[in-house]
Structure 1
Amino acid sequence: MALPMAGPGGYGDEYSERASSLEDYKVTCIRFVRDISVDYIAWVDRYALPAEEDARRREGITSVVGRADEWISRVARSIRGVDVVMNDAIQKMAEATAGRPFPIDVTVGGVRAYTRARPGPVEVRLRASGRGARSAALGRHSRDERFRLESTFPASIAEGGLDGSPDASDLALLLDASGASRDDVVSFTVVVQETEAGEETDRRGVSTIVHIG
């Protein structure tokens, strides 16, 4: 059983071309998120975790399903917007399934995971720490990308001064939402790597979605 992950184009590309209406597409994607959550919970079953950690990961997956349902229904205003919310939910469920062995906190305006901001520059605050003597540094989502970024408008996260693996104990990132309009959405994933003696020992991603309004 392979753990499902959203690829570069996300899951929406496969279905959006066949969508007959926005409302029908919302229903399809809400069902898809609910259905795929079963696969993530099945992976938690396979891990045979201690009771407390098992419950934490299950609750994380279940919580994402509920919030994604709400955002697809009430926030998304276009098929592209539905895709962004759905793919963000898939990322978040994968992150909940994997667990978070060291502290990572990503906030927009002091709010985590499902957030809101006005058009323009948006400060993203990253705070992370490693376990014991280990350090936490900003990593890369992939070889070609520092961040995973998906949006309904041209969005970017400034990478000036982020060469190498900058310390992630208290890092301010700048999301450019100057091209956004009311009810646009943007989802991004920040990856943090835990290191010891200069070598990576673990890594985790944290996804955040922003409703522009």
Structure 2
Amino acid sequence: MLPLDKDGVAYDEGSERASSVEDYKVTCMQFIKDISHDYLAWVDYYKLPVDEDKFRRDRINAIVERTNDWIAKVATTIKAVDVVMNDGIQKMAENTAGYPFQMGVFVNNTSDYTLAKPGIIEINVKAVGREGCKVKLGWHQKEKRFLLSSTTPVIIDEASMPEQDFDTLDLHLKMDAQKCQSRDVISFTVVVAETKEGKEQDRRGLTTIIHVS
């Protein structure tokens, strides 16, 4: 345990007092650990087959570790810490629910935690429905196709978005991140809907974070 100074903030004699950003990082990293127990409790509640139960638990635990690593090493501002923390919470929720059909979101051939340079960032969305089903790009909310959170404003080009469903979805989206600079972070969620005979029967979101370098 480190000693506490008169304000109750931990310090050691050889270092400067932690900045407010560093303090906030510690708080948020603990919050990520704490809230993960709630998601693991939901996995318990679902009474899943052993393999699926283990898969979802492993994913949630990996998200805690990776998110906290990004909070510690990538985020440089309070806003960036918020983006990374909320990205981790979103990922935990998605993996608690699981994925009944296959889907993936890729930036530079990498998923989940990714790197890109400022400019136009290409996003590849892939999905395949279960037997007898098709897939289509969905909406996060009624009038909001994507969930976006970033330290610098970005937009995903929604011109010419396909509305039909496909046996196999292989979609290339473009994100305008030209205003971004090195160390910015961007979190976005893509929703894919699974359809049967033209009617939506399931949907899942998949959240990806980008470290602009």
Normalization by structure 2: what TM-score? 0.89
Give the SS at the match of 1:112: coil
Where do 4+ consecutive residues of structure 1 move more than 6 Å? none
In the TM superposition, residue 162 of structure 1 has moved relative to its aligned partner by 1.2
Give the match for residue 3 of structure 1.
none
In the TM superposition, residue 144 of structure 1 has moved relative to its aligned partner by 2.1
Q: Whole-Å Cα distance in 2 between the matches of residues 200 and 192 of structure 1?
A: 10
* Cα deviations by residue, 1:27-70 (Å, 9 ceiling, x for unpaired): 00000000000000000000000000000100110010000110
Q: Whole-Å Cα distance in 2 between the matches of residues 62 and 137 of structure 1?
A: 30
In the TM superposition, residue 22 of structure 1 has moved relative to its aligned partner by 0.2
1:123-202 equivalent positions in 2, closer than 5 A:
123-162=122-161, 164-165=163-164, 167=166, 169-202=169-202
* Cα deviations by residue, 1:114-133 (Å, 9 ceiling, x for unpaired): 00000000000011010012
In the TM superposition, residue 134 of structure 1 has moved relative to its aligned partner by 0.4
Partner AA of 1:62 in structure 2: N
Partner AA of 2:212 in structure 1: I
Is the aligned partner of 1:85 residue 2:84? Answer: yes
Q: Whole-Å Cα distance in 2 between the matches of residues 140 and 21 of structure 1?
A: 37
Q: Whole-Å Cα distance in 2 between the matches of residues 143 and 61 of structure 1?
A: 28
Give the SS at the match of 2:169: coil
In the TM superposition, residue 169 of structure 1 has moved relative to its aligned partner by 1.1
In the TM superposition, residue 82 of structure 1 has moved relative to its aligned partner by 0.2
1:1-213 equivalent positions in 2, closer than 5 A:
21-162=20-161, 164-165=163-164, 167=166, 169-213=169-213
* Cα deviations by residue, 1:80-139 (Å, 9 ceiling, x for unpaired): 000000000000000110001100011000000000000000000011010012001000
Normalization by structure 1: what TM-score? 0.89
Q: Whole-Å Cα distance in 1 between the matches of residues 151 and 175 of structure 2?
A: 14
Matched-pair contact (CA < 8 Å) for 1:108–1:115: yes
Give the SS at the match of 1:169: strand
Q: Whole-Å Cα distance in 1 between the matches of residues 46 and 164 of structure 2?
A: 31
Partner AA of 1:37 in structure 2: S
Structure 1 residues 133 and 37: alpha-carbon distance in aligned structure 2, compared to 1, 3 A threshold: same
* Cα deviations by residue, 1:141-176 (Å, 9 ceiling, x for unpaired): 011210000000010111001153564610001111
After TM superposition, the structure 1 stretch with the greater mean CA deviation from structure 2, 84-93 or 167-176, is: 167-176
Partner AA of 2:192 in structure 1: V
> In angstroms, what is the RMSD of aligned CA positions?
1.1
In the TM superposition, residue 199 of structure 1 has moved relative to its aligned partner by 0.2
Instruction: Tell me the number of residue pairs that the alignment of Structure 1 and Structure 2 aligns.
Output: 194
Partner AA of 2:205 in structure 1: G
Any stretches of 5+ residues in structure 2 without a counterpart? Answer: 1-18
